[in-house]
Amino acid sequence: MDTQQIAATVAGAGDLTALEDVRVRLLGKKGEITGMLKQLGGLAPEERAAFGAQVNALKAEAQALLDARKSELEGAAEAASLDAGWMDVTAPAPERPLGRLHPITLLLEEVIDHFTGLGFEIASGPDIEDSFHNFDALNIPKDHPARDVWDTFYTDRGEIPRTHTSSVQIRTMMNRTPPMRILAPGRVFRNETIDATHHASFHQVEGLLVDRQVSVAHLKHTLETLVDRVIGRGLKTRFRPAFYPFVEPGLDLDVSCVFCHGKGCGVCKQSGWIELIPGGLVHPNVLRACGHDPDEWQAYAFGMGFDRMVMLRYGIDDIRRLYDGRLSLVRQF
C-alpha cells in the first residue's frame, strides 16, 4: 500500500463513522500499516532501518490524511446543522395568546388601590389559625354555632382553616399601637353548601380602623364610598341591623340586585337585595382582648365576601364560575 492508495481510501470515507472504520483498517492493532511494522523482526539487520523508516513515514502520512479528512467532515456536519436550524431573525414572531388576570385579581387590585388611597395598610396572616385568633379574641363564645363542624373545618390536630380574615385584625391589633388602618384580603374556608352565592373556599376582604371618636357614620361613609367606586354609582344600598359577636352595634350593607334590578331572582333569593358587607363598631371585649382600652379607643370593622362583589361588578350570576378553571372566563378580561 502506497500513499496514493491511502489517500484514495481516506477520501472515500463519506462520514465520520466510515472514516473511523478506515482508521482502524489502516492503523488499528490489526491494521495494514501496523502489520507492516510487525514484519521488521523477520528482516536482516541491515534492512530494518530503511524499511522501518519507510513504514513510519507511511504511518505519519496516513495519520495526517485521516486528521485532515476528519476536520473536513466535522466542518461539513456543523454547516449542515446550521443550515437545518437557520432562522430569519428579521421575520415577525408567531402570535401567541396573551395571559389574562382573573377577575378576582383585577377587582382586588382596584379595591386595594382605593383603600391605600385612604391611608389603609395591607395586612396578612396565616391561612391555618388557632381557636384564640379565629374565635376567642373575637368575642365568639365556646358554644357559638359558628364553631360547630357544620360551619368550620378542623384539621386532625384541631387547627382551623380560617373562617374569616378577622384573625388578621386580631393579630395586627395585638402587635400594634393605635391609631391604625388596615385592609386584610385573603382566602377563607367554611363548611358551606355550595350554590350560586356560596362556596366552601372563597375570598374575603376585611377592613379595620382604630382611632379616637370613631362612629357608625364613619363606617357607613367608608362602605358607601367603596360601593360607588367598585360596583358603580347610583346603585341602591341599604343598612340593616345585624348581630355579630365581635361588633356592637352591628349592621349589614345590602345592594340592589344587579341581575334582576330588584324584582327578585335566584341570585338574590327573590328578595331583590344581595347582602354584601357586614360590619359594625368593634366590640369593647375585642379591644380589651387585644390590649386596648375601649374607653380611649374605638374602632369599626367590616368584612365583605369579595367574590360576591366580583359577581356584581362583572355580572357573573354564579360564584362557581369563578372557580371552575375555564379559560373562557378569564379571556373576557
Q: Does the residue 90 lie in any domain?
A: no
Look at residues 144, 137, 189 and name the one whose alpha carbon lies nearest to residue 168: 137
Question: Total structural domains in the chain?
Answer: 2
Is residue 133 a contact partner of residue 171, using CB atoms and an 8 Å limit?
yes
Strand 121-122, strand 160-161: pairing: unpaired
Look at residues 23, 21, 25 and name the one whose alpha carbon lies nearest to residue 66: 23
Same domain for 72 and 181: no
Give tens-digit pLDDT for 183-200: 999 999 998 888 877 888
Same domain for 237 and 115: yes
Residue numbers of the domain that contains 274: 104-330
Give tens-digit pLDDT for 61-78: 888 888 888 888 888 887
Same domain for 70 and 24: yes
**How far apart, in Å, are the Cα atoms of 274 and each of 57, 96, 317?**
100, 40, 12
Long-range pairs for 238-243: beta carbons < 8 A, 24 or more residues apart: 238/273, 242/278, 242/280
Q: How high does pLDDT run on average in the chain? A: 87
Active site residues: 150, 164, 190, 204, 247, 301
Question: pLDDT band for position 301 (50/70/90)?
Answer: very high
What is the b/e burial string over 43-63, where b = at least 16 CB atoms within 10 angstroms of the residue's CB? eeeeeeeeeeeebeebbebbe
**Cell for 189?**
374556608
Is the per-residue pLDDT at 132 higher than 70? yes
Name 260's Cβ contacts closer than 8 Å, sequence gap at least 6: 267, 268, 272
Same domain for 255 and 154: yes
Same domain for 188 and 136: yes
Same domain for 80 and 191: no
- Among residues 50, 84, 118, the one where a domain terminates is 84
Same domain for 55 and 125: no
Q: Does the residue 96 lie in any domain?
A: no
Question: In this predicted structure, which of 26-30, 121-125, 162-166 has the lowest mean pLDDT?
Answer: 26-30
Same domain for 246 and 160: yes
How large a percentage of the chain has pLDDT more than 90?
44
Find the helix packing angle between 103-116 and 216-230, rounded to 10°: 140
